[in-house]
Amino acid sequence: MDDFLIFDRVTKSFGEARAVNEVSLSISQGEVFSLLGPSGCGKTTLLRMAAGFESPDSGRILLKGKDITVLPPEKRPVNTVFQNYALFPHLSVFENIAFGLRVAKRNKAEVTREVEAMLSLTQLTDHAQKRPSQLSGGQKQRVAIARALVNKPEVLLLDEPLAALDLKLRQHMLAELRRLHEEVGITFIYVTHDQGEAMSLSNRIAVMNQGRIIQLGGPVELYEKPQNRFVASFIGDANLLTGNVIEVISDELSKVQVAGLGELLAVSHEPLSVGQAVELSIRPERISMGETAEASTNRVEALVDDMTYLGSSLRCTLIAGAHRLSADLPPQFAASLSKGDKVHLMFSASHTLALPSSLS
């Protein structure tokens, strides 16, 4: 960690509402860092404080060791790409990108050279003379990114930049953003409520809820080792079952009683105690069907309630005791399963994660 950009106990309220609550965070140079969370969790407010559009009520923001907490936006080596692009409708693509350089009174030859480099980087050379209204959504988004990058910021802030685009274009633009990041190598801070975007783009992700960071980690860590119910259900899909520890087998392995389902073996990242309330998290793709004699595999009887063929998998909804479970099975099960079938589900103890209820 090189402490390139630091948020130190940053707090911001609007009236009674605490939008950002004592957030501390250190972002490395060149990192793609995402702020991920549901609507209203405070991620845009945090981003706006990095940009200088809002100032914290308390706490500090440091960039390369320098306190920038109250520095005005135009004095920060930081540029923002907004969700609605905020392009000038009456200016050409070229002039939109040139705008910041012209304000900075850069000479004509420099402006031309740098705008042309940006047009090439964002693959917009053929569209330089068009107005924004003549561009597709993805092209407009690329102009917005080029316009921010031309100022050579040290940090690029991206506020839900792909939210207005359809799914195919979003996937394409995500690949574009990864390529751009590789080429320019500067720090990206990316705000999104879409876990797929955050997972596919980021080195690290801060999952936020109600103004706080709930968990911070790489995509694999957040998916495989969520620390609580909120993260388990926000990052990917999870079957969540409430239960009580009835036996501690080792520091990592416990037996948990789940009402209406029976006893299940589960792993945990911290030692549990007998009687403790836990949430069990089981990913749908970790559930399979059939019989096994493996002692460390949980077995549950269930009835097929619903099936959705997704091409690469079959999403099944199953009734097990008082619980509804989702399982992602190989697609060929579509031919042999029917609603109402009685099946045996299996999921290993190592994929049954016990999360202390107090943290959920």
- Residue 22 or 116 with smaller CB distance to ligand ATP: 22
Angle at 94 between CA 136 and CA 112, to 5 degrees: 150
Please report how close the Cβ of residue 224 comes to ligand ATP at its closest, in angstroms: 25
- Residue 17 or 246 with smaller CB distance to ligand ATP: 17
Please report how close the Cβ of residue 49 comes to ligand ATP at its closest, in angstroms: 10
- Residue 111 or 235 with smaller CB distance to ligand ATP: 235
- Residue 141 or 276 with smaller CB distance to ligand ATP: 141
Residue nearest to ligand ATP (CB): 44
Question: What CA–CA distance (Å, rounded) separates 308 from 211?
Answer: 36
Structure tokens at 85: 């692009």
Please report how close the Cβ of residue 161 comes to ligand ATP at its closest, in angstroms: 13
Using a 10 angstrom Cβ sphere, with 0-12 exposed, 13-18 middle and 19 or more buried, the burial of residue 45 is buried
Name the residues that contact ligand ATP, by CB under 6 A.
14, 17, 19, 37, 39-45, 193
Please report how close the Cβ of residue 191 comes to ligand ATP at its closest, in angstroms: 6
Please report how close the Cβ of residue 50 comes to ligand ATP at its closest, in angstroms: 12
- Residue 206 or 265 with smaller CB distance to ligand ATP: 206
Question: What CA–CA distance (Å, rounded) separates 259 from 210?
Answer: 31
- Residue 150 or 158 with smaller CB distance to ligand ATP: 158
Maximum distance among all Cα pairs of the chain, rounded to whole angstroms: 76
Angle at 311 between CA 308 and CA 313, to 5 degrees: 65
Question: What CA–CA distance (Å, rounded) separates 99 from 184?
Answer: 20
- Residue 42 or 161 with smaller CB distance to ligand ATP: 42
228-260 b/e (C-beta count within 10 Å ≥ 16 → b): bbbbbbbbbebbebebebeebeeebbbbbebee
Please report how close the Cβ of residue 7 comes to ligand ATP at its closest, in angstroms: 14
Please report how close the Cβ of residue 47 comes to ligand ATP at its closest, in angstroms: 8
Element (H, E) at 128: none
Please report how close the Cβ of residue 39 comes to ligand ATP at its closest, in angstroms: 3
Helix (H, G, I), strand (E, B) or coil at 176: helix
Query: Running DSSP on this structure, what letter comes out for residue 247?
Result: E
For CA atoms 330, 336, 338, 342, the dihedral sign is negative
Residue with tokens 């685009």: 165
- Residue 193 or 283 with smaller CB distance to ligand ATP: 193
Query: Facing residues of 326 across strands?
Result: 317
Is residue 230 a contact partner of residue 214, using CB atoms and an 8 Å limit?
yes
